[in-house]
């Protein structure tokens, strides 16, 4: 009779250990998933910052160089951008992340004009100076 009781006790202890280990593993995976989502969102915002910084910096240098000046730049637009508006000296992005939908506004020192599509990926933009503003056009193809 003593052997049957010990087998039952060992099986119960084994189940307790396995359930505790399973709980720990699931908790760690949940925390990792939460942090990876936050990291992806931060990368998107960082890519958008880099996109607008390169666009405004190049636009300002082309404008100050004078009217016949123009250049082409390659920039990466991250996913989640639903709208891009260029109004006067501002570039306005509507972006959605896993947690929020936000409007990010980036300012330029010069007046801007043009349109940029919201398709995710690498974009070739032609930036050309005018006497009063900088024209931004997307090169397709």
The token pair at 26 is 């699931």
C-alpha pair distances (Å), 79 with each of 48, 49, 96, 97, 138: 9, 13, 9, 9, 17
The pTM (predicted TM-score) of the whole model is 0.77
Query: Tell me, what's the pLDDT at 6?
Result: 61
Counting as low any pLDDT under 70, the low residues of the chain are 1-8, 141
Residue 108 and residue 90 in contact, taking contact as beta carbons nearer than 8 Å: yes
Query: Hey, is 66 helix, strand or coil?
Result: coil
């Amino acid at each position: 009779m003593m052997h049957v009781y010990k087998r039952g006790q060992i099986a119960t202890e084994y189940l307790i250990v396995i359930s505790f280990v399973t709980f720990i593993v699931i908790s760690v995976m949940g925390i990792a998933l939460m942090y990876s989502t936050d990291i992806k969102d931060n990368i998107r915002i960082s890519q958008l910052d880099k996109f607008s910084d390169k666009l405004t910096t190049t636009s300002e240098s082309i404008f100050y160089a004078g009217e016949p000046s123009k250049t082409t730049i390659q920039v990466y637009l991250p996913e989640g951008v639903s709208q891009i508006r260029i109004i006067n000296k501002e570039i306005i992005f509507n972006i959605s992340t896993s947690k929020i939908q936000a409007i990010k506004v980036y300012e330029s020192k010069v007046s801007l004009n043009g349109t940029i599509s919201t398709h995710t990926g690498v974009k070739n933009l032609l930036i050309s100076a005018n006497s009063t503003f900088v024209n931004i056009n997307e090169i397709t193809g």
